[in-house]
Amino acid sequence: MAILALSAALGASFTWAAAGLISHVPAMRLGSFEFTRVQLISSSAILAALVTAAGGWVTVDWGHWSGFAGSILFGVLISNLAMAACLRRGGPRRTQLLMSMNAPISAIFGYWLLGETLTPSALLGAGFALAGLCLAILFGRSDSKELEPVEGTLAGVVIFGLVAAASHAAGLIALKPVLLSGTDPLAVSALRTGGGAFAISLVALWPAKSFEPLMKPDARLVAWTILPGVMGYVVAVSLLLYALANFNTGIAAVLGSLSPVLILPMIWLTKGAMPRPQAWAGALLVVCGIALIIFG
């Protein structure tokens, strides 16, 4: 069970890395709000269909409605709007770095609110993994304007990224009691994504210019937006929720935050921008950290 949970968390990282790379262009073209709205609505529809087909609704413990509400508000609505804003302003690599901060925040929340403990070797492994994340991103190749834009100020990028990371962590902690009650992780993902889609659709009724798309979307752009949404909301989130339900919150969050490292070879393969040696050293630190977590 532990190996499956750890593999699920790593799979979530890989999926998020790929989705982040794909998301950059549609986020730039649509704007943060419309980009998030299209993704939430399409992904919630797919999740609802999957859960219905699998009969997962019967596992939902509605007594934990407050956990769902907190996860929808923080983990879906606030987190994804802030992440889309960070992605537009700072590019996929900086966004992944800042989002990786949800790991230590989740560990702190887990210790503070849930009374979870971490063994010394697991703590050391988590530290190695986080250090590797930072090293890999900070020294990754950044001379590509397509991948490393800064729209506005760098401080704005950091603020949006940290808000997204903290909100994501809060949303995960809110769901922990729900998952421990035996609710199917896919049903949890469907409810939180559907709730976020409903909330953002209500907000979209307000006639504010900031809620309008930057450009009129065509079928290709909509499909380009939906694909990474399905990868993130449907595949990656479900994998991470499974890991959280079957393993320690902090460790699962760390392993689910490796996308900043995994995105480096993806950039190299798709854009021809080879990361620097320091970035690969950071990736090695991450591997060592994972080994300590699993075998420590």
Return the pLDDT at 138: 67
Q: Is 268 left (phi over 0), alpha (psi -120 to 50) or beta?
A: alpha
**Structure pTM?**
0.74
Token pair of 212 as six digits? 């309008």
- Count of C-beta atoms within a 10 Å radius of residue 77: 23
Return the pLDDT at 224: 93
- Count of C-beta atoms within a 10 Å radius of residue 115: 7
Identify the CA nearest to 25 among candidates 211, 271, 242, 193: 271
Return the pLDDT at 206: 82
Identify the CA nearest to 179 among candidates 241, 255, 109: 241
Return the pLDDT at 89: 82
- Count of C-beta atoms within a 10 Å radius of residue 207: 7
Cα four-point dihedral sign 72, 122, 131, 93: negative
Q: What is the mean pLDDT of each run of 10 residues along the chain (296 residues)?
A: 86 91 88 89 93 91 88 89 84 77 73 74 80 71 55 80 89 84 85 91 80 83 93 86 80 78 82 75 78 66
Q: CA-CA distance, 16 to 3, in Å (whole number)? A: 20
Residue tagged 């009129």 (tokens): 216
Q: Using the 8-state DSSP alphabet, how is residue 106 labeled?
A: H
